[in-house]
């Protein structure tokens, strides 16, 4: 429903547009057209980005981040921005990227238990050195490697270690050490993956008004580490086996609730979502970590909530300055019946997303 309402709004606006995606007569009433060169309108900045606002350049995205500490991007914006950075990609590359999510497996804690059996992951780390100017670099790292999955005749799958932010820990998953299956080799050279990595690099590397605040205990002189993760949230433990970890709510992409990721920059990019629910909320730092109360949600922007939005289309994304605001992934309700995993069916993926958590390494 939320997606359809947004599309109807966009369609109606297009019929009365001046060609820039701005409805005539609205300039000067707080609407901001981000071009990176000029800002039109004089409305308040924080938490009032328009749902149909477009971003024509990397500087425009940086300007929004500098002012609001987060920015929602449409899938069209993401593809257009990425395609203008010198990395060619095709629809076939996008389809090949989407198939990578079929490799997802549940993350494990230090005891080998599946932390969220219904939430499959892939994770690898990439180094981005912005100290040498805007020359794009994004190199696969091995410093977080842990070992291989599988034995005997099974082809081993590399695992990588994640030391998670304490705000993502809840009583039913109280560990800070996670093991993820690494991305397959096909992901490393995929042109669409490289284009998205370059988009992140450009936001980091280009001069801007963003106040990059490092995570406590990290080396500000070292290159960035970009933790790139795929998540597939499915019902009833489809992503793994039930019963191997404390029970969690089926199909909840964010059981930790409101949290931060010990990062400077966080990106969530929608891939395949078989539901029009499962939105994302951006909160002020004052909002306590964990599942928000009904009162906090009902208070909306009069309280600590800055914005709530559903990523409707492929490549819809949100960029967040993780030291300045908190974020939350909302529960999913499937739009159509899901096959019963207990009967051997893999069912339908409810939510496939791509995330980047960018931070400096610890001392």
pLDDT for position 54: 86
Q: What is the pLDDT of residues 260-272, one digit of tens each?
A: 888 999 999 887 6
Quote the domain boundaries for residue 210: 2-359
CA 51 to chain centre: 18
Residues 6 or more apart from 139 whose CB is under 8 A from it?
126, 127
pLDDT for position 343: 40
pLDDT for position 74: 94
The whole-angstrom separation of Cα 278 and Cα 270 is 11
Q: What is the pLDDT of residues 225-257, one digit of tens each?
A: 999 999 988 765 343 333 333 334 455 656 678
The whole-angstrom separation of Cα 82 and Cα 78 is 6
Instruction: Kindly report the number of other CB atoms within 10 A of residue 38's CB atom.
Output: 8
Paired with 190 in beta bridges are none
Sign of the torsion angle spanned by Cα atoms 151, 154, 156, 157? negative
- Band of residue 342 on the pLDDT scale cut at 50, 70, 90: very low
Count of domains for the chain: 1
On whether the pTM is more than 0.95, the answer is: no
Q: Mean per-residue pLDDT for 70-79?
A: 96
For the cut 70, the answer to whether the pLDDT of residue 114 exceeds it is yes
Q: Mean per-residue pLDDT for 196-217?
A: 95
Q: Mean per-residue pLDDT for 202-214?
A: 95
Q: What is the pLDDT of residues 152-166, one digit of tens each?
A: 334 446 888 887 766
For the cut 70, the answer to whether the pLDDT of residue 93 exceeds it is yes
Using left for φ > 0, alpha for ψ between -120 and 50, and beta otherwise, residue 143 falls in alpha
For the cut 70, the answer to whether the pLDDT of residue 214 exceeds it is yes
pLDDT for position 239: 39
Q: Which two tokens stand for residue 265?
A: 């920059």
Q: What is the pLDDT of residues 21-33, one digit of tens each?
A: 322 222 222 223 3
What is the average pLDDT value for the chain, to the nearest integer? 76
Cα–Cα distance list, 308 to 185, 252, 357 (Å): 35, 16, 20
- Band of residue 348 on the pLDDT scale cut at 50, 70, 90: low
Q: What is the pLDDT of residues 180-194, one digit of tens each?
A: 999 999 999 999 999
CATH code of the domain in which 281 resides: 2.60.120.620
Which is more confidently placed, 242 or 258? 258
For the cut 70, the answer to whether the pLDDT of residue 224 exceeds it is yes
Over the Cα atoms of the chain, what is R_g? 20
pLDDT for position 44: 31
């Amino acid at each position: 429903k939320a997606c359809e309402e947004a599309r109807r709004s966009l369609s109606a606006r297009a019929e009365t547009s001046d060609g820039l995606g701005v409805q005539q007569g609205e300039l000067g009433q707080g609407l901001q057209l981000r071009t990176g060169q000029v800002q039109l309108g004089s409305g308040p900045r924080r938490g009032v980005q328009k749902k149909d606002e477009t971003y024509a350049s990397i500087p425009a995205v940086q300007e929004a981040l500098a002012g609001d500490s987060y920015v929602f991007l449409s899938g069209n914006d993401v593809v257009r921005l990425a395609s203008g950075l010198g990395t060619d990609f095709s629809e076939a590359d996008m389809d090949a990227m989407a198939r990578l999510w079929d490799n997802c497996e549940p993350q494990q804690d230090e005891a080998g238990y599946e932390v969220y059996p219904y939430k499959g992951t892939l994770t690898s780390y990439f180094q981005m050195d912005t100290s040498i100017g805007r020359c794009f670099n994004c190199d696969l790292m091995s410093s977080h490697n842990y070992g291989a999955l599988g034995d005997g005749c099974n082809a081993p799958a590399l695992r990588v270690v994640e030391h998670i932010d304490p705000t993502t820990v809840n009583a039913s998953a109280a560990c800070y050490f996670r093991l993820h299956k690494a991305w397959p080799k096909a992901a490393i050279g995929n042109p669409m993956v490289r284009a998205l990595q370059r988009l992140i690099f450009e936001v980091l590397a280009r001069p801007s008004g963003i106040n990059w605040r490092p995570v406590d205990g990290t080396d500000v002189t070292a290159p960035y580490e970009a933790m790139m993760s795929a998540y597939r949230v499915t019902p009833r433990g489809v992503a793994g086996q039930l019963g191997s970890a404390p029970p969690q709510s089926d199909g909840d992409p964010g059981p930790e609730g409101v949290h931060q990721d010990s990062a400077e920059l966080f990106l969530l990019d929608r891939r395949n979502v078989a539901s029009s629910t499962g939105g994302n909320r951006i909160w002020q730092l004052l909002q306590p970590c964990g599942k928000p109360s009904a009162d906090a949600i009902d208070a909306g922007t009069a309280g600590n909530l800055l914005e709530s939005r559903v990523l409707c289309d492929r490549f819809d994304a949100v960029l967040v300055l993780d030291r300045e605001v908190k974020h939350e992934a909302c529960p999913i309700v499937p739009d159509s019946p899901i096959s019963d995993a207990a009967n051997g069916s893999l069912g339908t993926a409810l939510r496939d997303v791509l995330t980047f958590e960018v931070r400096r390494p610890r001392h």
